[in-house]
């Protein structure tokens, strides 16, 4: 067994997907989006990627993404929709997609926040996919309310803050391993987004 000595050198940072302004998501990791505008946030993340996107959502939930609403942010033709019929298959499907490394982004719309053990498995699956697949995958789970999945790389909350003449959202970084909590006002449209720190 080898011993690793502590030193003052900085460790290499993980490659990250720049989404908007100060929002960058580490690749080969699992991130969480919560809040009433979490689906919009997922569209912004998808728009920052190139290639196919797998969207995993329970078959028993009636609400589905509307391609007309998606088109304002990202091409709906990039999406493959997977609808597991059993609750235990939601995270299993996400894990298998991440492990394969066949897509740059896998999104799972979950009814509840997962516990630490499944999150760790998803991190490991994404790291494996980065080594074996054509893409370095990024996992994104969408959770209701304020979220709360243990062990995620980052947790983001997004809520609408529209004004009479323009669309707007409040975007908050609630948790990150390498950055403090922060909140921004997001306005504009695709290609013309403006983030203002609050």
Pairwise CA distance, residues 131 & 78, whole Å: 23
Closest residue by Cα to residue 140 from 50, 21, 17:
17
Is residue 1 scored above 50 in pLDDT?
no
Phi first, then psi, for residue 138 (nearest 5°) are -120, 130
171-183 pLDDT, tens digit per residue, is 999 999 889 999 9
Pairwise CA distance, residues 184 & 198, whole Å: 5
CA angle 151, 105, 172 (to 5 degrees): 55
Is residue 29 scored above 90 in pLDDT?
yes
154-164 pLDDT, tens digit per residue, is 999 999 998 87
Is residue 47 scored above 60 in pLDDT?
yes
Q: What DSSP state is assigned to residue 101?
A: T
Mean pLDDT of 168-193: 92
């Amino acid at each position: 067994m080898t011993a690793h000595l502590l030193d003052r050198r900085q460790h290499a940072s993980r490659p990250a997907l720049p989404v908007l302004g100060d929002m960058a998501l580490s690749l080969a990791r699992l991130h969480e989006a919560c809040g009433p505008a979490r689906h919009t946030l997922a569209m912004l993340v998808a728009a920052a990627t190139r290639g196919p996107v797998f969207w995993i959502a329970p078959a028993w939930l009636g609400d589905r993404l509307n391609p007309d609403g998606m088109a304002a942010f990202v091409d709906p033709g990039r999406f493959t929709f997977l609808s597991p019929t059993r609750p235990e298959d939601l995270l299993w499907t996400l894990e298998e997609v991440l492990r394969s490394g066949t897509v740059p982004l896998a999104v799972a719309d979950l009814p509840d926040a997962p516990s630490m053990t499944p999150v760790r498995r998803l991190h490991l699956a994404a790291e494996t996919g980065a080594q074996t697949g054509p893409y370095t995958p990024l996992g994104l789970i969408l959770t209701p309310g304020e979220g709360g999945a243990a062990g995620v790389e980052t947790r983001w909350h997004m809520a609408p803050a529209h004004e009479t003449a323009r669309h707007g959202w409040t975007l908050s970084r609630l948790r990150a391993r390498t950055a403090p909590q922060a909140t921004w006002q997001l306005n504009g449209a695709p290609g013309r987004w403006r983030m203002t720190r609050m």
